[in-house]
Amino acid sequence: MKIYIAAGLDRKDEMRLLAGQIEGWTKHTVVSRWHGRAGVADWDKNAKESDLALWDVDDIKSADILLSVGGLSTKYARFVEFGMAWAWNLRIIHLGEHENLFHTLPGITHVPNRGALMDVLREKFTTEDALDTSLEELVR
């Protein structure tokens, strides 16, 4: 399955490491490019902000799962990304404490730490079959 990591831009280096851990410890692929990583070009430093935003939108659309990473950050685009994922019926996993009421929506998988995240990715989200239940069915 394809995963988009949504976190504050100020946590870019940490998310690059998390992407490597996810791909190394699970059978999933991280499709978010904003954090850069081996084998994936980092953002174009000369690109317009609107182009970078569209790049993220394309990455979210290509994902099966949005991984929302909570915690201290001074950047808040991750909340917009979370909203897009919800609106587009992507599976959402939230790592960390609830930060707002939207993190309590039905169908959101909550994990308290990275160990629990890896367990959930290996056990619950292992095949396309895990996506058979639509979000609409979960909220009814």
At 45, is the pLDDT very low, low, confident or very high (cuts 50, 70, 90)?
low
Q: What is the DSSP string of 41-86?
A: PPPPTTS-HHHHHHHHHHHHHH-SEEEEE-S--S--HHHHHHHHHH
Q: In this predicted structure, what is the pLDDT of residue 49?
A: 81
Q: In this predicted structure, what is the pLDDT of residue 10?
A: 87
Q: What is the pLDDT of residues 85-112, one digit of tens each?
A: 999 999 999 999 999 999 999 999 999 9
The pLDDT of 62-77, averaged and rounded, is 89
At residue 139, does pLDDT exceed 80?
Answer: no
Rounded distance between C-alpha atoms, residue 71 and residue 61, angstroms: 24
Domain over 2-139 is classified CATH 3.30.365.10: no
Q: What is the pLDDT of residues 112-121, one digit of tens each?
A: 999 999 999 9
Query: Domain-by-domain residue ranges, the chain?
Result: 2-139
